[in-house]
Chains A and B, each alone.
Chain A
């Protein structure tokens, strides 16, 4: 058996495309094709709500209402998270700001930061080289007592809590640095108060200017004292912050 009769017919029709039957079929198929395309396109257009039945529309509306509600819930949750994040961040930022300010204050006290402010400049002339650590120590204590917040000596030494004065061969040694007269103390604090304290009866100025020391003290008030000498940052070896009780 060779090829099937049906296939023969198909092949024959492809070879001679102009019989009346074929043209009629072609016209009808064109109509069918046109109608199909129109239908498919109308399905895809946005306003296909036309073709949906009322109950389908109601169902769609309900599911949209549900989706809207869920989105609203999610928004409420996200807003809550946001407000707590904001307040947490704000409080942390505030704490951070406070901590930074504290670090600045402690840095100035520890001598690791330069300081500026109003105060006085004390110049001690010591022609006989009689000024010793007793007098200098007393002077520093007087200054602290009257509100000195930062003290710099001879632009080379920064006075801090641990500052120690010892006798050296050339004179006063402060925190391991040999100092020679004249001694210049730059002090930040309230200028009048500082000056008055040094000048009290039997105080620093009196002791220096009397015999046996026979020196001279000049005090100059200033609105802008700049203390730029820094102390060596100390890393305590024996002292540890204690646990709070």
Chain B
């Protein structure tokens, strides 16, 4: 095929949909072109007579079909709407119920958060009160004998006369009482005898032939630990009457007595029964 013999298509011969915008084309062709063609054919065949414009049986049947179609579609839609609205109604009810539930739960969560906040601050307050109280208990514990203590001081070891024959050559409860009293007077802050810590309820007594402290039987040698100033206590001790009494006991009856300064001693706490009050309760502060 040569270039010259190829048929040239001109603008007019191209089908309209090639150059017309889509919407314009759709609108322009909204009436089936068949109608126009059928009318032309009828006119050509009948030679100019008026075309058959009356709708025939076929048109009647088609309109009937159309009626059935539309009615059926309408009925179907009505049915679906019925089902759908029933379904939708139950959904809407569920949605409303859930919304209420979410609302209620959110409110409860908010209440709980508030409650927890106030519990938290109460907890912190209790803790700080506890700390203050704990410091106070420490101080009271050292002084009353409720807590074991360590510190410098003097150690006094006394015992019966080594080869004593008479009764007076033994260490009596009165002797230990005087020893302890002299040590308190010399500035002792805590005293224990053979690991028995002295509290305000502790007594040094004689039960039969044994000395008891805190109702515990002890036997010699008696190690008395007194926490205090190791430099001044020995001198102050001999200035007290009871301190001097012990020097006499040593000299006249041969009782053994040895006092040494100590850098660090540990005294146990008093037994808990010696720290219990049964009759005394706190009185009114004036």
Contacts and interface: CB of A to CB of B under 8 A. Distances in A.
Interface of A: 49, 54, 57-58, 60-61, 64-65, 67-68, 71-72, 74-75, 78-79, 81-82, 85-86, 88-89, 92-93, 95-96, 99-100, 102-119, 133-134, 137-138, 141-142, 144-145, 147-150, 159-167, 188-190, 226-228, 234-242, 244
17 contacts: A49-B95, A54-B91, A82-B115, A96-B130, A108-B282, A114-B286, A115-B283, A134-B174, A137-B181, A141-B173, A161-B145, A188-B279, A236-B139, A238-B229, A240-B149, A240-B150, A240-B151
A166 B242 CA distance: 8
Contacts of A242: 147-150, 266-267
Nearest to A60: B95
A100 B200 contact: no
Interface string B254-279: 00000000000011000000011111
Nearest to A113: B282
B198 interface: yes
Given A68-B102, A110-B140, A133-B241, 8 more contacts: A108-B277, A109-B277, A115-B281, A133-B181, A147-B278, A160-B143, A226-B283, A240-B149
B223 to A, nearest CB: 17
Interface stretch (B8-16, B40-48, B119-127, B156-164): B119-127
A220 to B, nearest CB: 16
B143 A234 contact: yes
B142 A138 contact: no
A105 B134 CA distance: 14
Interface stretch (B61-69, B70-78, B104-112): B104-112
Nearest to B240: A166
A78 B153 contact: no
A141 B205 contact: yes
B156 to A, nearest CB: 15
Contacts of B91: 49, 54, 57-58, 61
B82 interface: no
Q: Is the interface of B mostly helix, strand, loop or mixed?
A: helix
A137 B200 contact: no
Contacts of A109: 140, 144, 146, 199-201, 275, 277
A86 B123 CA distance: 9
B106 A71 contact: yes
A97 B109 CA distance: 32
Contacts of A190: 278-279
Tell which of A85, A86, A93 has the most Cβ of chain B within 10 Å: A85
Contacts of A105: 275-277
B165 interface: no
